Amino acid sequence: MSEGTDTQGWLVGARRVPSPNFDRRPADCDPDLLVIHCIALPPGRFGGPWIDALFQNRLPPTADPFFAGIAGLRVSAHLLIRRDGELVQYVPLHLRAWHAGASSFQGRSDCNDFSIGIELEGDLETPFAAAQYARLLEVTREIRRRHPRITRERIVGHEHIAPGRKRDPGPLFDWRRYLDHL
């Protein structure tokens, strides 16, 4: 990835797959939280077009039995890092992606308003790939350059802002490996 973002909030070098699932952040609400997630569609399987399809509201409910229950969801993330390190962007960083759902951080609810969401292609049972950590570090540095209020203490997992409801990125995400190299 080349370093930087363009004037429209897209990271240089990311594959752009625009999602319709976004809106504007509240006035005077700049991102100051980074939320790490994981996703595999269908569960336990990596690769394929299904994450892009989900975030673009094109997930065919009959393509896999799991899809029938989620095909109607209207969700997105700003970014996805695939197993091989490929970076995909769905929503410009200055806009609000729909990734956190019912959530709270330090007493402040609706984390989508003030966060950037990064999905890692993965699940709760498979270690994340070295290429993903490398790309995540690169992307985090760029995001923090652009949004300096995102400190190490303001980088969390979905599990931290929606405890009891979400478990990602899960026990196999190596927080120390990630945070120690920022």
- Give residue-wise pLDDT tens across range 64-112: 999 999 999 999 999 999 999 999 999 999 999 999 999 999 999 999 9
For residue 158, what are the contacts with CB-CB under 8 A and spacing of at least 6? 35, 36, 37, 99, 100, 103, 166, 167, 168, 169
CATH fold of 15-39+75-179, please?
Lysozyme-like (3.40.80)
Residue 2 has pLDDT above 70, yes or no: no
Beta strands 33-39 and 115-121, pairing class: parallel
Widest pairwise Cα distance in the chain: 44
Check residue 7 and give its pLDDT. 82
* DSSP structure string for 90-157: -S-TTSEES-S-S-EETTEE-GGGGEEEEEEE--SSSPPPHHHHHHHHHHHHHHHHH-TT--GGGEEE
Full 3-state SS string of 150-174: CCHHHEEEHHHHCCCCCCCCCCCCC
Cα 59 to chain center, whole Å? 18
In the chain, what are the domain boundaries? 15-39+75-179
Note if 119 is an active site residue: yes
State the catalytic residue, choosing from 3, 119, 142, 159. Answer: 119
Which pLDDT does position 4 carry in this prediction? 87
Phi-psi region of 101 (alpha: psi -120 to 50; beta: other; left: phi over 0): left
Q: Tens digits of per-residue pLDDT, 11-60?
A: 999 999 999 999 999 999 999 999 999 999 999 999 999 999 999 999 99
